[in-house]
Structure 1
């Protein structure tokens, strides 16, 4: 079964998506355990001592650069209409600078692409720290910290 289908199976009746901040701790543990059993890996970009807007630009720029260099076919980003135009410019710039016009990128609503729930869960774990980071480690392939 495809990871998207397995993730959709975790939804409660009436739920359109998994949003980690809205779940109870016991449900978070259950969801994270299921996610860690999937054949998915994430990279975590941590930006310290910067305002959120600047941290987003640094993180997304690094992500786009890494995706282009790795030969990724597509990059899917959770839609935030207030940031979408700036995101598109940043990604297009990375594609131009690192020489791949073949990578496709798009913004989608979280309920449209369940793999976004995995990145949401890992981001939540990293921002809450402690044992949550340990629980997410099984799917974290790499960590990049920028100051």
Structure 2
């Protein structure tokens, strides 16, 4: 296998950190850079990004695959199907202490997304990011991350 064909370590590290969070009673959050390949409620996207609570209590049918994160969650009282390509995941971290890991994402594409959001004024005004609240998946609803939420302590991989 050529170096450029080496499979990404991102899904494996993401699953390991998800397991670490759940084993230690923490709430795993994933930060996602949104583009046309990401299936999330656009009304909760801010500055081209969204933060999602992927805990067992906030999701239904969670699948942390090699290519996608897929699950069902409630946003504004409505059940939604969520699908995030692994290469759009910017970080995974524990809500309670901010410990986790960040991942590289194409910065050029991010700059274009931010320009488009400003140009079309698509970014919502309320809250920092959308996060499904704790509770059973069929009772879960989204809340915005408060400005006082701990900043994640992340380790960047290359």
Q: TM-score range by the shorter chain?
A: under 0.3
Under a length normalisation based on structure 2, what TM-score does the superposition of the two structures give?
A: 0.26
Under a length normalisation based on structure 1, what TM-score does the superposition of the two structures give?
A: 0.27
Q: Which has the higher contact order (CA 8 A, sep 6+)?
A: 1
- Normalized per residue, the structure richer in helix is 1
